[in-house]
Amino acid sequence: MTSPARVVLAAPGSGQGKTTAATGLLGALRRRGDRVAPFKVGPDYIDPGYHRLAADRIARNLDPVLVGPDRVAPLFHHGAAEADLSVVEGVMGLFDGRIGGGEEIALGSTAHVAQLLDAPVVLVVDAKGQSHSLAALLHGFRAYRPQIRLAGVLLNRVGSDRHEQVLRAAADDVGLPVLGAIPRTADLEVPSRHLGLVTAVEHGAEAVRAVESMTDVVESSVDLNALAGLARTAGQLPGPAWDPAEEVEPQAEAARAPVVAVAGGPAFSFGYAEHAELLEAAGARVALVDPLRDERLPEGTSGLVLPGGFPEQHAEPLSANTALRREIKTFAETGAPVHAECGGLLYLGRELDDHPMCGVLPARASMAPRLKLGYRDAVAAGESPLFAEGTRVSGHEFHRTATEPAHGDVPAWFWRDAHGVHREGFLHGGVHASYLHTHPAGNPAAVARFVARCLR
């Protein structure tokens, strides 16, 4: 298999401008006629929405913690099919990953993914307040783990022509080429809230305008030819592309394909593209439902997936759609399989910030004072439409709401940390509801089990 041209955009830390640079780069390369494939390191659901707008192509996540290191290159090949060039946006700082693993390069870090992809790294640096000291920063990042090929720098928030000259001289001192200098501009700001940027699907026309602004500024300030040339220096990446048909056995013939309704729209936008692909490979027919707009489940629905998102931002209109709430409650009471993650859990509860929800689960949810964030090694606490009791998974928790009670009589998960054993989520009839996000490509057997349950 031919190795796609690829480059990883990293940074010294969060807030340096990776998303601006990656989104603008995708848009500028597409504008000049390149077919570009976007990727995001880690479990982030928000940045890929902006990438998709810029590239006009599905944006995919690469997360060694959730899918296993061996699946990263196959998933990359799958997502980069027929693209001329791939842009991989990193997470946090270049070497920031899962804490406590003891590896030389932290598991799940941008550096880890760059290593798995054998890709050159471009460091995006917020230049505000930087001068000659940029040379020391670049030297340190290149020398810290020399097996990671730091191949260039993109300067962000450059204040003036003179500022750019000083920064370019500093980078030249350590032998790193400057591939672009993005000026400071308020046009590139995207609104944020408690979990990061406002999602592109919620932001609508303003998100499109923001992406166009990012594209314009990157097109005028970055050497696209030099960056594309750097991407073509990536090493050979052996192995086949990930294929959902090889991950799951079909559970039904086309004539008997069960309908799996998957919630989407502004309130439920946190999902992975591989989920629908695996559901279809397992023999299901995927039908989208928007709980803000649709008053009925799709005709013939035999399984329901409620992914994460921001239902707390849409609690009033979600509550006002009483017809769908009642239908979902009736559907769940039949014992039909329902898979709810994070935002989906909130929607299934009795109330969300005092607004009535579906009432499937005996839980009330509200905003909490602290964000819960991090990877979890979890064990399935009981039998469900997704997992056999005792199944071990790697998941990710990312929310600033809490439910009362925090878990059901039979929780969805157990996990252990320094504070002891935690019980989390709800198993209730055919419902598996939890704050924990999992990646279907890391747990394909769970998808096949879910489709098989739909057939019953």
Contact 167, 138 (CB under 8 A): no
Torsion, CA 360, CA 365, CA 371, CA 376, rounded to 10: -30
342 is catalytic: yes
Rg (CA), the chain: 22
Describe the chain by its helix, strand, coil percentages, rounded to 5.
35, 25, 40
With CA atoms as reference, report the closest residue to 66 among 446, 439, 377, 445. 439
Q: Are 294 and 288 in contact (CB under 8 A)?
A: no
Which candidate in 338, 342, 358, 447 is catalytic?
Answer: 342
Contacts of 14 (CB under 8 A, 6+ apart): 92, 93
Tokens of residue 341, six digits: 């993650």
Nearest residue to 40 via CA among 22, 55, 25, 61: 61
d(CA 330, CA 338): 12
DSSP 270: B
Count the Cβ atoms, other than its own, within 10 Å of residue 160: 10
- The strand pairing partners of 88, in sequence order, are 8, 39
**Among candidate residues 298, 244, 314, 318, the one with its CA nearest the CA of residue 79:** 244
**Interior CA angle at 344 toward 341 and 348, to 5°?**
125
Quote the tokens at residue 79: 């997502």
Phi then psi for 438, rounded to 5 degrees? Answer: -120, 160
Angle at 73 between CA 82 and CA 398, to 5 degrees: 105
Query: Residue 68: left (phi > 0), alpha (psi -120 to 50), or beta?
Result: left
Enumerate residues 6+ apart whose C-beta is below 8 A from 404. Answer: 363, 364, 365, 366
258 touches 282 (CB < 8 A)? no
Residue 99's alpha-carbon distances to 15, 45, 105, 211, in angstroms, are: 20, 21, 11, 33
Q: From CA 15, how far away is CA 194, in angstroms rounded?
A: 15
Residue with tokens 């009483």: 322
The answer to whether residues 430 and 453 touch, using CB atoms and an 8 Å cutoff, is yes
- 180 residue type, one letter: G
> Active-site residues: which are they?
342
